[in-house]
Amino acid sequence: MPTIQLKDIWRIYLSDACGNEQSGDCLAVVLAVHDRPDMVTVVLLTENMKAMWHDYTLQIVKSSSNGLSSDMVALVFQLQSLENTSANFKEKIGTLEDREFVAIKKILRLLLSIT
């Protein structure tokens, strides 16, 4: 089982998708790590900057700490929970900047109508 922490950016594998959801290998930001039942909640990233037209997205600027090779869009509306296994979590890429993590959490509160 990989060691995963909040704000980590991982290359993950998604086996199933519906409609326009992502599948296969993609990048994701870790929002929560759950001890039971060994689940990790993530937000998916895309290189497609046109995805910014969706509500509940955030541009992530590449940096040396996050390890991204290009700017990405966090698709906060595509929140996923995955089992913490090496089959799902392939490679740690880097760590998200604090200000971007805080911004994602604010967007998530709006998405889920949490005050």
Half-sphere exposure (Cβ direction) of 56: Cα atoms closer than 13 Å: 14
Do 47 and 61 meet the contact criterion of CB atoms below 8 Å apart? no
pLDDT at position 15 is 77
Per-residue pLDDT of the chain (115 residues; tens, 9 = 90+): 789 999 999 999 987 654 445 557 899 999 999 987 789 999 999 999 999 999 999 999 999 999 999 999 999 999 999 999 999 999 999 999 999 999 999 999 999 998 7
pLDDT at position 24 is 74
CA distances in angstroms from 111 to 14, 54, 102, 115, listed in the order given: 22, 12, 14, 11
pLDDT at position 16 is 62
- Strand-pairing partners, residue 52, are none
The reported pTM is 0.89
CATH architecture of 8-111: Roll (2.30)
Do 52 and 73 meet the contact criterion of CB atoms below 8 Å apart? yes
Residue with structure tokens 């604090």? 98
